[in-house]
Amino acid sequence: MPEKTRDELVRIDYTPPRRDWSDPAIDFEARKGTWSYPAAAKNLRYLGFPNPRDWSPTDEDWQLPENWQQVIHDGLAERLTKYRSLKLFLDVCVRCGACADKCHFYLGSGDPKNMPVLRAELLRSVYRNDFTTAGKILGRVAGARKLTPAVLKEWFYYFYQCTECRRCSVFCPYGIDTAEITMLARELLNLVGLNINWVMEPVANCDRTGNHLGIQPHTFKDNIEFLVDELEETTGVRVNPSINRKGAEVLFIVPSADFFAEPGIYTFMGYLLLLHSLGLDYTLSAYASEGGNFGLFTSHDTIKRLNYKIYHEAKRLGVKWILGGECGHMWRVMHQYMDTMNGPADFLEAPVSPFTGTAFTNAASTKMVHICEFTADLIKHGKLNLDPTRNDHLRVTFHDSCNPARAMGILEEPRYVLRSVVNNFFEMPENTIREQTFCCGGGAGLGNDENMEMRLRGGLPRANAVRFVHEKHAVNRLACICAIDRATLSTLMEYWVPEVDVSGVHELVGNALVLEGEKPRTTDLRGKPLAARKGDADA
């Protein structure tokens, strides 16, 4: 937790400085708590990334390669020919300012360079200088800047202060997606060895062991067995998930946080109960034991490198289709990149639910179904025996995670599932949900401890909306379908709205799901006592 109190953090000054924004000067020492530690050299070495070294942003000399300006210039030139989006977004912004107060980091910090328009302008000014006629002739008058070390330091600071949430792009009249600009700017930073450890360590781990946390196969199995034991204690039912089993019908991919850390493990328990009660023929994989993909926060090549395992493993195991758990950035990759990068998945079959016969035509090519789509379909067809009163001790609201909302549009499925498994469901205010949802403030690799002040600031608009429903409806549970959220929102709630806990949607499914042969439940999956029920007193 940061040294600042809640009252100090909400005293936000939105008055822009007098100094023109084009003269950068960032005092990293004074801004501790708002930036992330650089990547450890060992991770870059393992991955074969350029310029591994030990350094700190507070150093005067960042030990850049000699020709760093040229490297970045060439890198930008290359990306301009590869991405129409980049070129267009750099050209067409009119600085109307519609995006300005849409970014949670601007709202929470008042720092004008957190306005999406200025974040993009940091790169755009250099683009003008190097690549446009007007910029070459008119220089500063045309808004062009040379790429100096100070500008580069500013890039590092602000492009690792964007969670790639894409809220700004909803409001921009040209659909300018600042997240895309951030992604490509991070690619450029990576070329000269400017990256953060909270991204590169998971990437290195994932490449080697199969998951971000670096869990090796035997520990993976132990963890799952531990959760199976816990479940047996709560429900009296012993579920039996398999690992790396060839010939299963379905490969089930989840974010690794779901089998490793609270509160994700309760969501994982929910999955296990659901799939067990159905008798789905599925397997987990210790090799493809990560649905998440921190390549998304590194470079497009890294996305592809890590995502490679998913289809590779599906093919090896000979499954028919893939089911994916609750995770935001994982689904951004599965939905928008996987098929293009590592497809075609012509060795798989178009997914069909074995229980309802529903063909998931929306996943006909990628062959990967979101578990909320899967479960919503089951509930609609009456295939689940649900007792929502087992969630009566909870008053639930739903946080739309950025990627499922703004990169897929999976809005109603989780709501339908929630309304079927809980009796007390309340929406947060309209401008803070669905496509306008506010970020948790800790995505895109920024959810680390050293960046805590910025996370709490960035998460303030979200926390505010939660506090609103907490005060109005006594909400005490914040449900979401994202593994990063489950971690970062927990911290956020602890600080801003400590009365509210965070969970996945399938944890609540697990609570409500009535299993064959189960013992009477006295607690939820967390071991918390259920609300007293009418029938109980009589018995």
Partner 1 sequence: MRVVWSLLLVGALALVGFFGAQAGGQALFGIVLPYLAMAVFLVGIAVRVVGWARSPVPFRITTTCGQERSLAWIKASPLDNPSTGLGAAARVLLEVLTFRSLFRNNRSELRDGGRFTVSADKWLWAAALAFHYSFLVVFLRHYRFFAEPVPAVVAWIQGLDGFFQVGLPVVYVTDIVLVVALGYLLWRRLADPRLRYISLPADYFPLALLLGIALSGVLLRYVSKADVVAVKELAIGLVSLHPTVPQGIDPLVFAHIFLVSVLLTYFPFSKLVHMAGVFLSPTRNLANDNRMRRHINPWNPPIVGHTYAEWEHEFHDKLVASGIPLDEE
Between 96 and 138, whose beta carbon lies closer to ligand HEM?
A: 96
Between 102 and 434, whose beta carbon lies closer to ligand SF4?
A: 102
Check residue 355 for interaction with partner 1 (CB under 8 A).
Answer: no
Between 272 and 296, whose beta carbon lies closer to partner 1?
A: 296
Is the CB of residue 503 less than 8 Å from the CB of residue 262? Answer: no
Between 261 and 411, whose beta carbon lies closer to partner 1?
A: 411
What is the Cα–Cα distance from 455 to 42, expressed in whole angstroms?
26
Between 1 and 96, whose beta carbon lies closer to ligand HEM?
A: 96
Contact track, partner 1, 284-313, x by CB under 8 A: --xx------------xx--xxxxxx--xx
Q: How wide is the angle at C-alpha 52 spanned by C-alphas 43 and 83, nearest 5°?
A: 85
Contact track, partner 1, 34-73, x by CB under 8 A: ----------------------------------------
Contact residues: ligand SF4, CB under 6 A: 93-99, 102-103, 105, 116-117, 119, 162-168, 172-174, 176, 178-179, 182
Query: Whole-number minimum distance, CB 351 to partner 1, in Å?
Result: 10
Check residue 250 for interaction with partner 1 (CB under 8 A).
Answer: no
Query: Whole-number minimum distance, CB 100 to ligand HEM, in Å?
Result: 12
Query: Whole-number minimum distance, CB 96 to ligand HEM, in Å?
Result: 4
What is the Cα–Cα distance from 106 to 44, expressed in whole angstroms?
31
Q: Interaction with partner 1 in 157-196: which residues (CB under 8 A)?
A: 166, 169-177, 180
Name which of ligand HEM, partner 1, ligand SF4, none residue 164 binds, using a CB cut-off of 5 to 8 Å depending on partner kind.
Answer: ligand SF4
Burial of 245 (0-12, 13-18, 19+ CB in 10 A): middle
Q: Is there a cis peptide before residue 263, judged by omega within 30 degrees of 0? A: yes
- Max alpha carbon distance in the chain (Å)? 86
- In 3D space, the residue among 454, 451, 456, 478 whose CA is nearest the CA of residue 467 turns out to be 478
- Reading the block at residue 215, the tokens are 């869990």
Q: Interaction with partner 1 in 191-220: which residues (CB under 8 A)?
A: 207-210, 216-218
Check residue 368 for interaction with partner 1 (CB under 8 A).
Answer: yes
**Range list of H helices, 318-459:** 328-336, 338-342, 371-380, 402-403, 412-421, 452-458
Name which of partner 1, ligand SF4, ligand HEM, none residue 165 binds, using a CB cut-off of 5 to 8 Å depending on partner kind.
Answer: ligand SF4
Is the CB of residue 186 less than 8 Å from the CB of residue 194? Answer: no
Between 182 and 298, whose beta carbon lies closer to ligand SF4?
A: 182
Q: How wide is the angle at C-alpha 134 spanned by C-alphas 131 and 138, nearest 5°?
A: 115
Report the sign of the C-alpha dihedral through residues 97, 102, 103, 105, in that order. Answer: positive
- Reading the block at residue 138, the tokens are 């008119």
Query: Whole-number minimum distance, CB 110 to partner 1, in Å?
Result: 9
Check residue 126 for interaction with partner 1 (CB under 8 A).
Answer: no
